[in-house]
């Protein structure tokens, strides 16, 4: 089974301590939120960065998606804080 690449940005990356990582592809029917909860359960920086999903945004294969989106056959999941402008 192919792996899923997770890419972290901004303070999410800083707290986890990784730019990206490979994880086993989730079961069919898994959502982005399901995978985020699984990663947060690792504890440490993952829990700190991913524990509050209200502070996260996601993109699957470089397309912004809500956290309740099915992962399906995506190859990349990006996790980052909400974007602000000025």
Question: What is the C-alpha to C-alpha distance for residues 11 and 49, in angstroms, rounded to an integer?
Answer: 8
- How confident is the model over 15-70, as pLDDT tens digits? 999 999 999 999 999 999 999 999 999 999 999 999 999 999 999 999 999 999 99
Place of tokens 């397309």: 63
User: Which residues make Cβ contacts (< 8 Å) with residue 57, sequence separation at least 6?
Assistant: 64, 79, 80, 81, 82, 83
pTM score, two decimals?
Answer: 0.93
User: Does residue 12 carry a pLDDT above 70?
Assistant: yes
Q: What is the pLDDT of residue 83?
A: 76
User: Does residue 75 carry a pLDDT above 70?
Assistant: yes
């Amino acid at each position: 089974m192919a792996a899923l690449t997770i890419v972290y940005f901004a303070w999410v990356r800083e707290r986890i301590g990784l730019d990206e990582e490979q994880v086993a592809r989730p079961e069919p029917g898994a959502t982005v939120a399901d995978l985020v909860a699984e990663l947060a359960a690792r504890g440490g920086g993952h829990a700190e960065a991913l524990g509050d999903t209200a502070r996260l945004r996601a993109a699957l294969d470089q397309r912004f998606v809500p956290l309740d989106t099915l992962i399906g056959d995506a190859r990349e999941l990006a996790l980052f804080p909400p974007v602000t402008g000025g």
